[in-house]
Chains A and B, each alone.
Chain A
Amino acid sequence: MDMKKLILSIASGFLFLFAQAQIEKGNLLIKNGTVLTITKGNLDQTDVLVKDGKIIQIGKNIQAPVGSKVIDATGQFVMPGIIDAHSHIALDAINEGTNPITPEVNEADVINPLQIGIYRALGGGITTVHAMHGSANAIGGQCETLKLRYGTFDPDVLKMDGAPRTIKFALGENPTRSHGEGAGIVPRTRMGVEFVIRQAFTEAKEYSDAWAKYNKNKLVKGFRGAPPAYSYRHEVLSDILNDKIIVHCHSYRADEIYMMLKVAKDFGIKRLVFQHVNEGFKVAPELAAQGAMASVFSDWWAYKFEVYYSTAYNAAILSKNGVVTSINSDDAEMMRHLYHEAAKTQKYGGLSDQEALELITINPAKQLGIETRVGSIEVGKEADITIFKNHPLSIYGVPMLTIVDGIVRFDREKDADDMRLWVDPKQAIETSVFRDKLNDADHCMEGAEFILDSEIFKANNK
């Protein structure tokens, strides 16, 4: 080994120390469940073997390695951990709403691993979330794909290391209201939103061209000259133009979605996911043609003017038109029953179990560029697994165990009352008792408590 190589290997060793947070990975065997692999069909009475956080074997009658944890999933459903492609949990800041263009800000800097919402999401079977910048700006901040490794105090441990970079864009009322109405600057209209995006990309092109020219000139012997002024903002915009970052664009109306498709085409942006996209059903073929994807609500609209025209068939229409579609929550409560949200596409649009489950597993994984690592149960993939009592698309489906990298992060049987990681020493103590037998006040079950205490009730609600 020559000296240069040696130094390089030492240096990269140090880099490794800095960059890699210690991530806990587990070994376990899940026995005898109905495995919904998503990509390889459903397998009855099948075992899944996990080693060092990865799925290494799927089959019948797998012997548990010595010392390995064994989970009996008899009569239960084993599915890949649910992925929410639009969330704002585990973040200390959502919107840098001071400027219409802020690609340099990064949610990776403000991850908060202490939020109890992470644990609650695990309780809903979620293992991965796309922690996004808000929609105040036409070009917002960079987002971070997180694995819900609740229990860590280190924000870096939540990051899904190696997941592609993503960024939030926003069209329509939010940016025009924040900047046009709020600050009296462009954009005030949808035209303005298009303009500021195009302007930003044009400047970024000029910026990277100027640097390319400078770097080329520098190679000429005897060259003397000033470099272009460094701009973090334009560095990130250039990365978008070079397809190093997946654009996730908040949008509602068909006209603005179509506008954004054209902008992407004009600037050569290939990786584009529309978020919310309530009128996506109107431009589904156009989306499919350009390879753009869509992440939608199941049936949520009419909360502001631009979201009045919508339909619960949106996900089904987009899917049937060949658009890679996911169902997201954008909400800490809704994300705890994303499996119900997916099931609604069976009522509205008649999607099959397989198609409905793809909406919350492999499809959001594709939208985040992590489909080779998670989103299905396959040998070689990361062991992010949720075990359901009853089928996940059934109204009786209940997530019992949520596993991330082979580590059980949520276990309904061991779900303690107080799962906070951090207790604010200054916060006042407030109790929240729903039913207090001794101080019986008037409540809707007054005089009927014996039902709640009966063995039958307890057995049914176990």
Chain B
Amino acid sequence: MKLKFNHRALIVLVAVSLSCFNSFSQDDRELRPVTSAYAITNVNIIQAPGKKIEMGTILIKNGLISSVGKGLSIPADAIVIKADSMFLYAGFIDGLSRAGVSKPKEEASREKVKDPGNPAPERAGITPQNDVRNFLNAADKSIEDLRNLGFTVSQVVPFGNLLPGQGSIILLGGKSADQMVLVNNSAIYSELSGASGVYPATTMAVMAKWRELYRQSSQAKAYQNSYSSNRTGLERSASDRVLEAFYPVIDQRMPVLFKSEKMLDTHRIFSLKNDLGFSLMIGGVKEGWPIVNKIKASGAKVFLSLDLPEELKKDDKKDEKKDEKKTDAKEEVKKTEAAKPKTIADLEKEALQKRKTESIASYTSQASVFAKAGVPFGFSTLDVKAKDIVPNLRRMIAAGLSEDAALASLTTVPAQLLGLSDRMGTVEIGKMANLVISDKSYFNEKAKIRFVFVDGLLYKMDIKNENLPAGQAGKFDSNAKVEIEGTWSTVTQSPQGNTEGKITFKKDGSSYSGSVSGGRLPEPVNANDVSLDGNKLTYNYTINFGGNSIKVEVDVTVDGDSFKGNASVGQFGSFPIEGTKNPKK
């Protein structure tokens, strides 16, 4: 065995030397690592929030942290990462998401039911026996998106409404579902949302059904116990997958994980908990601050949403700018504007804007309110756009959450809440090598993540070719020389799915014209205001939707034969768009 291993190591070494030492800077995540040993040197190690080793070294072996400290001798077989002056943290843990989880086909849920009052459990969204492992796709981009931000572990749950199934805690890396799974059946997942057109459709019916299922399950479990202790002369205890799924919950061996975004959801979930007595986790919490004491008293484990409402746009400033453009006499306009007394409408708008700003501020300061109230909390990335996560963390910090508390909620606290503290959450000997290394302190606006380790496996972020999350435009370069003439295939992502289309640009002298087709357009329409400034391309077009004209504004950054950016569709919001240039025929 030993001989065989050495033999293999030799081949690997040769292979490495042949492929130069460049394997690093390339996207090597598909390859097996050449060695399981790493040494990260000269790095600021944040072992736990508030506990720092300056310019230390950390050794990794076989997926575990084998040594942490200063002046460590580096093993001969270790790949050395000179992380000079960088910052190293324990990998982040996400309490609730659907990273890597495939959505089941929706056909089943649209079937017409003969008696809407008595649908099959699957149609009603009652499948607590389902296991998220059956829906995991290791190649799903959402896993990479989260990992690129420093997340290494996530509790993932199946799609669905009432009781979609059981969640698992997974590593955000690995080649198969089983390889990723760290803890299976970590929680039974539930949402207070009803089925469409069949019972239970409303929240009140969902709650009634919840109580009934739980009580039926308690009854079935008790009967099964008495039946298995003495079967003779007793009616057979029937098998029921739905009810059996609750047994570990009734035994307090498995918590119920509820999505609880709205404040009123949280109240309602507590009412179920008080009636039935299960142990509870609430995830995706967005509106918990008014009831932080109630949440504290409940003992529920809490994962706050990393989603935040957008900051209020400064409409007034925009208007002013427009006015300035219209007239040359800028000063004149400003003077008359200043002299103009405020109308009733202005005052009303101001008052409403003030309340909206305050409301947004309440959402942003939720995390700090929880921290001050002494409620331990982790975070949830459920339904949060990857590109918003780090900016939102910074907004929470600006609103009063300390950086240490933010870090704790990404590492030590979720490890504790999910029962993983013996394995992760801190940078200590014996813990899993789930690590994140950024070039500056993680919460620094200019910080970039350089390396992420998941279970001892290295993922390197190539910052030249930034691994941009979908929809995030590349860097603006006014000197870039790009050529857009030709036909491009585009893909726009929206909550309804991806839309494919085409755009053809033609050069007319120094300007461009364009034509958009495909997608939801019955026939091609003109692209207007096509503008190319360096590598920044913008254009817009109008679609007809239900009798309304809706303007679609596209703003992308071109990189060679591809572009990335956003398509903003009127009031419907902004969606990521990507394009690739079709080869010339």
Contacts and interface: CB of A to CB of B under 8 A. Distances in A.
A431 B345 contact: yes
B335 to A, nearest CB: 18
Contact of B202 (A110, A417, A420, A426): A110
Contact of A93 (B202, B226, B344, B349): B202
B207 A425 contact: no
A423 interface: yes
B583 interface: no
Interface range for A: 35 or more
B460 interface: no
B570 interface: no
B521 to A, nearest CB: 27
A435 B202 contact: no
Given A18-B274, A231-B212, A418-B355, A224 B234 contact: yes
A225 B234 contact: yes
Given A425-B356, A431-B345, A110 B204 contact: yes
Interface string B179-213: 00000000000000000011111111101100110
Interface string A434-452: 0111110000000000000
Contact of B356 (A141, A154, A185, A423): A423
Contacts of A229: 216, 219
A355 interface: no
Nearest to B117: A99
A417 B348 contact: yes
Contacts of A39: none
Given A96-B200, A229-B219, A230-B216, A109 B360 contact: no
A84 interface: no
A100 interface: yes
Nearest to A137: B117
A105 B205 contact: yes
A24 B172 CA distance: 49
A226 B359 contact: no
B201 A417 contact: no
A112 B264 contact: yes
B358 interface: yes
A300 interface: no
Nearest to A103: B208
A41 B556 CA distance: 77
B202 A418 contact: no
A221 to B, nearest CB: 15
A226 B118 contact: no
A154 B199 CA distance: 27
Contacts of B212: 104, 230-233
B300 to A, nearest CB: 14
A425 B223 contact: no
B480 interface: no
B349 A429 contact: yes
Interface in A403-436: 417-418, 420, 422-427, 429, 431-433, 435-436
B309 interface: yes
Given A92-B203, A93-B203, A153 B291 contact: yes
Contacts of B344: 433, 435-437
Interface in A80-138: 92-93, 95-102, 104-107, 109-110, 112, 114
A212 interface: no
Interface in B316-367: 341, 343-345, 348-349, 351-353, 355-356, 358-360, 363
B261 to A, nearest CB: 13
A420 B351 CA distance: 12
Contact of A425 (B215, B235, B309): B309
A419 to B, nearest CB: 11
A429 B268 CA distance: 29
Given A92-B264, A98-B200, A439 B117 contact: no
Contacts of B343: 433, 436-439
B116 interface: yes
B30 interface: no
A95 B202 contact: yes
Contacts of A418: 351-352, 355
A433 B291 CA distance: 35
A156 interface: yes
B208 A232 contact: yes
Q: Which of A105, A425, A439 has the most CB of B within 10 A?
A: A425
Interface in B345-399: 345, 348-349, 351-353, 355-356, 358-360, 363
Given A93-B204, A96-B205, A229-B216, A429 B353 contact: yes
A285 interface: no
A65 interface: no
Contacts of A26: none
Contact of B199 (A96, A155, A432): A96
Nearest to B215: A230
A417 B351 contact: yes
B263 interface: yes
A95 B197 CA distance: 12
Interface string B111-149: 000011110000000000000000000000000000000
Contact of A183 (B115, B211, B235): B115
Contact of A438 (B309, B341, B360): B341
Contact of B201 (A98, A420, A431): A98
A7 B531 CA distance: 78
B233 interface: yes
A13 interface: no
A227 B355 contact: no
B116 A431 contact: no
A233 B215 CA distance: 12
Nearest to A229: B216
B560 interface: no
A98 B290 contact: no
A384 B366 CA distance: 36
A426 B118 CA distance: 37
A431 B352 contact: yes
Given A104-B208, A425-B309, A436-B344, A225 B355 contact: no
B271 interface: yes
Given A96-B202, A98-B117, A109 B207 contact: yes
B267 interface: yes
Contacts of B363: 425
Contacts of B207: 105-106, 109
A11 B237 CA distance: 34
Contacts of B219: 227, 229-230
Contacts of B230: 224
Contacts of A425: 309, 356, 359-360, 363
Nearest to A94: B202
Given A105-B207, A425-B360, A438-B343, 15 more contacts: A98-B197, A100-B117, A106-B208, A110-B202, A141-B204, A153-B290, A153-B291, A224-B226, A227-B223, A233-B212, A425-B309, A426-B309, A426-B310, A432-B348, A438-B341
8 contacts: A96-B201, A99-B199, A101-B117, A141-B204, A185-B115, A225-B234, A232-B208, A437-B343
Interface of B: 115-118, 197-205, 207-208, 211-212, 215-216, 219, 223, 226, 230, 233-235, 237, 263-264, 267-268, 271, 274, 290-291, 294, 309-310, 341, 343-345, 348-349, 351-353, 355-356, 358-360, 363
CB-CB nearest 6 A-B residue pairs: A99-B117, A425-B309, A423-B359, A93-B202, A232-B212, A98-B199
